[in-house]
Chains A and B, each alone.
Chain A
Amino acid sequence: MRYIYSIIKADYLQRTRSYAFLITLAITFFAAYSFVPPPTASYTTLSVVGYKGVYNSAWVGYVSGMMTAIMLSLYGFFLVNGGIKKDIETEVGLIIATTPITNFVYLLSKLFSNFLVLLTIAGCTFVVSIIMFFVRTSGHAFILSNFLIPYLLFAAPSLLVVSSLAVISEVFLRKRSFLQYLVFFFLFGIMMANVTAQKNETLAVLIDPLGVRTMTSSITNLVNSQFHQHIDGVNLGFIYGHKQAFKTFEWNGITITSLFLFSRLLWIIFAFGLVYLSSFFFHRFDFKQPVSKRKKSSINAEQNTVITFAATGINRALIPPLVIDYGIFPFIKTELLLLTRKGTKWLGLVIGGLSLSMLFAPINVAHAYLLPILWFLQVTRWSELATKEETNRLHYFTYASYKPLQRMLPAQILAGITLALVLALPLILRYAINLDVYPIFDIINGAIFIILLAVCLGIVSRGKKLFEISFFMLSYALIEKVPILDYMGAIKHNNHISYMVIILTVNVFLLGISFAVRNYQSRHL
């Protein structure tokens, strides 16, 4: 147990010393800034039908804490998930397995390092929320406890629960990242539904891992009593299209009840309990299936070492003459091969089924829901588009090849776009039959955007995670109909031409960054 601090520290440093983490922090600062929108903004982050709190210390602090608890819980899972997988891939796990460390202590160290990473990000939003208080408000007193309480009682326990879920998902679902994402997304949906739907107040507070039900109830109670209303819920998240005049009320924070404190403690115990229970099922890096496979391949290898290089060597006189071909089609072919070979058969069936279902579903449902889901199912494929050379340590070859920037990178982009468009083909066909051209342009524009985003974030962060998180948030926002994040024309826009021009401009920008950074990387290994 005495070594746990060193393990946590090493794990934490390893995760935070990366470009991806720096970029995540930059996005966090922006997100924290957007949690407290100016009164003129076209969105709110918390409102009660027609009512909004005045920007006092409690409102700014609690809204920021609540948004951190919700948003960071959502994308934090994707961020911290993969700690054990990393130990498997780097084979550090094999060393760990031979040490006296117990399963529980190892998993506990993963829990704490996950938690610390998320707390670091929450710490940033905390600082920004205080700055935003002074930026957005005037004439209200600054009360520190209004900032500390939501971060300590909403954000911290919920982030601990998420950290714990990230650990146990890796214990039970091992390296199946995509399945882990799906299960977590499903669980998160249930969590959010419970927060807003549960009528029994005591039960609602108890089953709310995010802890925000106490806050939303406090706000609705205040509005109902002050304005004689019967409102039973609030709108959470980035809510667009609420530019109407709100009536304002002054809310001064929650009353901390023993039930609330008990529920927060319960979730903390739950987080540790989950990790403890999962330690009984932890594989400890002993994989029966791969081991047997390894044995099989080593038998083959042994047979081959009997005759190693051909005794005759390479007879160069018999090798056909060299034919030079600097085209990019062989690259595209291989890139497509690599894209399609990734993923399991069952996932392939789901993707095929979803793609075909766009032929029969109502066209707006197909565009607004099925296509975003279908494309999101490609996340692990596209996130590797421009990162797989480094991940597989093949970049020595690619960067030393002839004109890598003019041939390799375009081939990767084209292969990704081809896959996106092939999947969207049923929907494109329907729009073509209806002679509806704009949505076809939108889908093509969207396909180019998402592939360029994958390539750009992969190249800049030198990893997959940043794109995976961004793509998840984008897909979620699209399904939630957040217009500003609609990259595929799934939502109606007032000025369609301007919308298309914006996406095109972003695409050009992403393309420029990708080429510039890759150009630098290819000469600076």
Chain B
Amino acid sequence: MSLVIKNLTKQYNKHKTGLTDYSITIDKGILGLLGPNGAGKSTLMKIIATISKPTHGTLFLDGEDIVTNPDHIRKILGYLPQDFGVYPNLNAYEFLEYIAAMKGVGGKDLRKRIDMLLEGVNLTTDAKRPIGTYSGGMKQRIGIAQALLNDPKVLIFDEPTVGLDPEERVRFRQLISDLADDCIIILSSHIVSDIETIADEVAIMKNGILLHKALQPDIINQVKGRVFEAVIDNHEIAALRTKHLVIDTSRQKDKSRVRYILKDSQPEPTAVAVNATLEDAYLFLTQNNA
């Protein structure tokens, strides 16, 4: 299974462009989308989910054009939007039955399927309460359950960990990893660690452009040997920023521990080389392409 996107452009109006000449091929496994606000992550996901039409470009799923034939992907799509809502007067069962109807999932075992999904996201005991009374995390879990209702082959999660507490996030990552064997999973997040722990490949975007797409180690290699940490006086930080790409600073009384990436410069005499992370590579790529 393969999703081939070629020269995708989304122009909202004269002044606003969502995506520019975006090309990417997505195969089975988990693709993590990373990018600052306005990078075009949600736009790309909406276009793949067929709820937004590209201005130019093509999207083929296993050779089938899904711009002209959106129903081809809709049958096998699980989509969790960033800012979704629910019908507050329905309980979890009724809501998932409704979503099942949308997805064309039926049969006498539908109730059992819903039961198992609710059990999986641990909402069984609250399943008969109106969803309007749910907490943010519980709503997010209902959203995850609905995305899985139709045994999707293409799963799109736009900021899925928003509203989940740390333990829920860990469970969610486990759940996604279990599904990844025979699906295309596209996942966007602002939290680099979420992507770092589960994504096979990472695509870094900015201003509607794909900056880089590769396996995680290959992306990290972009900054390998260039990440340093140094403890310096607070007043020296400003000067350091002019020479290097400062990633992080943490104050320690009169001094600060600074993590930075070399641009075309030499490391500070007191600096220590440290292991590069995905976050370092992400910040390096997005800020270097400012």
Contact = CB atoms under 8 A, between A and B. Distances in A.
Interface of A: 293, 296-298, 300-301, 304-305, 307-316, 318-328, 330-331, 334, 337-338, 341-342, 388, 392-394, 396-404, 407-408, 522-525
Contacts of A388: 87
A319 B100 CA distance: 14
Contact of B175 (A314, A398, A402, A524): A314
B90 A338 contact: yes
A525 B175 contact: no
A512 to B, nearest CB: 21
B102 A397 contact: yes
Given A322-B150, A323-B109, A328-B101, 19 more contacts: A297-B133, A304-B135, A305-B137, A308-B168, A309-B174, A310-B122, A316-B178, A323-B108, A325-B101, A330-B106, A334-B97, A337-B90, A392-B85, A397-B146, A400-B77, A401-B74, A402-B103, A402-B104, A523-B50
Nearest to B166: A308
Contacts of A314: 116-117, 119-121, 148, 175, 178
Chain B interface size band reads 35 or more
Given A308-B167, A319-B116, A396 B79 contact: yes
A214 to B, nearest CB: 50
B122 A304 contact: yes
Contact of B120 (A313, A334, A404): A313
B137 A400 contact: no
A324 B106 contact: yes
A305 B103 CA distance: 29
A330 B165 CA distance: 34
Contacts of B178: 313-314, 316
Nearest to A399: B51
A341 B112 CA distance: 25
B137 to A, nearest CB: 6
B141 A309 contact: yes
B243 interface: no
A344 B120 CA distance: 35
B187 interface: no
Contacts of A311: 171
Nearest to A309: B171
Given A301-B138, A313-B174, A322-B150, A330 B100 contact: yes
A408 to B, nearest CB: 7
B78 to A, nearest CB: 10
A295 to B, nearest CB: 11
A300 B126 contact: yes
A394 B86 CA distance: 6
Given A309-B120, A313-B174, A522-B51, A401 B103 contact: yes
Nearest to B50: A400
Nearest to B147: A397
Contact of A394 (B46, B84, B103, B126): B84
Nearest to A322: B151
B60 interface: no
B94 interface: yes
Contact of A313 (B49, B70, B175): B175
Most chain B Cβ neighbours within 10 Å, of A301, A310, A401, A525:
A401
Interface string B114-130: 00110111110110010
Given A325-B107, A334-B98, A315 B116 contact: yes
Contacts of A293: 133
A395 to B, nearest CB: 8
A39 B21 CA distance: 62
Contacts of B165: 305, 308
A296 B137 CA distance: 16
A397 B116 contact: no
A525 B112 contact: no
B71 interface: yes
Given A334-B101, A524-B52, A300 B121 contact: no
Interface in B147-189: 148, 150-151, 164-165, 167-168, 171-172, 174-175, 178-179
